[in-house]
Amino acid sequence: ALEKKVVKSKVGEKVGLPCCHEIPSSESLHNYRVYWQKNTTEVVLAYAEGKMISKHERYGNRTEMDARNLTLWISPVEILDNGPYQCVVQHLRFLQNSVVVCDEPVILFVTADFSKPNITAEVLANSCESTEMVVRCSSYGGFPKPKLSGALNNESMVWNASWVSESSLSPYNVTGKRWLNVTKDISITCSVEYNGFAESTSLLLKKTKDCVVPTVPPSYNVITASSIIIITFLLAITLAARYLPRHVCSHCCKPQDSVEEGVKECMKPPVSSKVTSETSSV
């Protein structure tokens, strides 16, 4: 019984609102008065003694009633059809006296699909370390008022959301905004949730600027100091080679000999002891 009191439908569909009474097969609609009302004051459709006696102009050719189970059919459904309805059934008895057989409400929840969320990102500032950007998510044309949710790398996030609608029974446009400081590539998701339905979109946000730190050349002072050290070292080697005394072999050079003679003596091959002995004998 509780399920019959709540009916959900989308804009453009055909929906049936169940009544609280069904006419027995032994009787007909001629024995009843049936009133379908909205908000307890607006008569949508009314029958008396088997004939239609009233029909609201806004429903025009969009409504009809089943003559047996008294279901109210609406097609196509509009957003303005959203709200509570009431089926009032009276049984006509002797001398046209009527008895209320049932009087129960049924609520119609109308849904209009939102567009697939659109995510855009605007770069505000850029550096080697991070990219500052404002991200927007928007969806439009839906009903009822939606909830906007999101996620950053699968972790829940909150949008700064705003809604626009002409009235409480008009389509909604929703926009969410979020400022981000992106230091690496991240995935962002935007979801529009309404009356048990949801639409989602994801976008990969990339850090837009990757800087390569250049190799710092040695400073002028370092180059100058290195050059002085190298030149000094070369000069020291040159002076040492030129002015230090040369080493003379002690067993082949006489002390009193000149340097040139000593060099010559040292260059002579040594005379073997055998040859010396032969010379002495001669």
What are the tens digits of pLDDT across the range 146-202? 999 999 998 999 999 999 999 999 999 999 999 999 889 999 999 999 988 999 999
Domain 115-205 has CATH 2.60.40.10: yes
The residues spanned by each domain of the chain are 5-111, 115-205
What type of residue is 160?
N
Instruction: State pLDDT tens for residues 90-142.
Output: 998 765 678 899 888 999 999 999 999 999 999 999 888 888 999 999 999 99
Whole-number pLDDT of residue 114: 97
Pairing verdict, β 6-10 and 98-111: parallel
Q: What kind of fold does domain 5-111 have according to CATH? A: Immunoglobulin-like (2.60.40)
Q: How far apart are the C-alpha atoms of 194 and 191, rounded to whole Å? A: 10
Give the lowest-confidence range in 64-68, 221-225, 238-242, 270-274: 270-274
Pairing verdict, β 131-142 and 172-182: antiparallel
pTM: 0.67
Whole-number pLDDT of residue 227: 73
What would the DSSP string read from start to end of 76-98?
S--GGG-EEEEEEEEEE-GGG-E
* CA 66 to the chain's CA centroid: 49
Of 151 and 256, the one with more pLDDT:
151
Torsion angle of alpha carbons 106, 112, 116, 118, nearest 10°? -110
Cβ atoms of 152 and 188 closer than 8 Å? yes
Burial 237-259, CB ≥16 within 10 A → b, else e: eeeeeeeeeeeeeeeebeeeeee
Judge if 5-111 and 115-205 fold alike in CATH terms.
yes
Diameter of the chain measured on Cα atoms: 185
